[in-house]
Amino acid sequence: MVDVSIAQLLFVSFAIFSIGAGGFLIRKNAISLLICLELMLNAVNIAFVSFSRLHNNESGTVLYFFVITVAACETAVGLAIVLNLFRLKKNIRIQEANALRG
């Protein structure tokens, strides 16, 4: 068991979240978007578990479990959508999937 402060853990979590978010904004293809999304969710999980460790009760980990469920569903559906996008447009460039606009 490593004794480490919550601030360090939070810093790690937020840094990873920023990297994920930055990637999400910068990358141009749909799958990288999903991967960056996974990164962000993972960062959130780190925060959950570290707070659960700080307060020493298991709710954090339970929430971690629910986040994982959501992530799994989200990835599955996201990939299905990417698949359809690919079938439709023969490419998965995000810039070109902008039909749904004002």
Which one of 28, 44, 47, 88 is in contact with other proteins (CB under 8 A)?
28
CB of 19 to other proteins, least distance (A): 4
45 lies in the site for other proteins, by CB under 8 A: yes
C-alpha pair distances (Å), 92 with each of 32, 81, 83, 84: 10, 10, 9, 9
Which one of 44, 47, 57, 88 is in contact with other proteins (CB under 8 A)?
57
88 lies in the site for other proteins, by CB under 8 A: no
Which one of 44, 47, 59, 88 is in contact with other proteins (CB under 8 A)?
59
CB of 8 to other proteins, least distance (A): 7
Cβ-contact 44, 67 below 8 angstroms: yes
Q: How far apart, in whole angstroms, are the C-alpha atoms of residue 55 and residue 49?
A: 10
> What is the DSSP secondary-structure string of 74-95?
HHHHHHHHHHHHHHHHSS-BGG
